[in-house]
Amino acid sequence: MKIVTRLTNRLLALALACAASVAPAAHAAPQPSFGIEVGNALLCLNQLNSKYFFDYLVAAFGPPYKTEGGAYWFKATNVSLWGMQATDFLINDSSSQADFIGAYFNTTPVKLTDAIKAALGIRFTPEDDTAYPVRQSQAGSKIVYNDTNAKMYCAKSKFLVPGPEQP
Going by their DSSP bridges, the two strands 98-105 and 124-126 should be labelled as unpaired
Cut 0.75: pTM above it: yes
Give the N- to C-terminal CA distance of the chain in Å, as an integer: 91
- pLDDT tens for residues 67-85? 999 999 999 988 999 999 9
The enclosing H or E element of 68 equals strand 66-68
Q: Each residue of 98-156: pLDDT tens digit?
A: 899 999 999 999 999 999 999 999 999 999 989 899 999 999 999 999 988 999 999 98
Which residues have a Cβ under 8 Å from the Cβ of 60 and sit 6 or more positions away?
27, 29, 30, 31, 34, 74
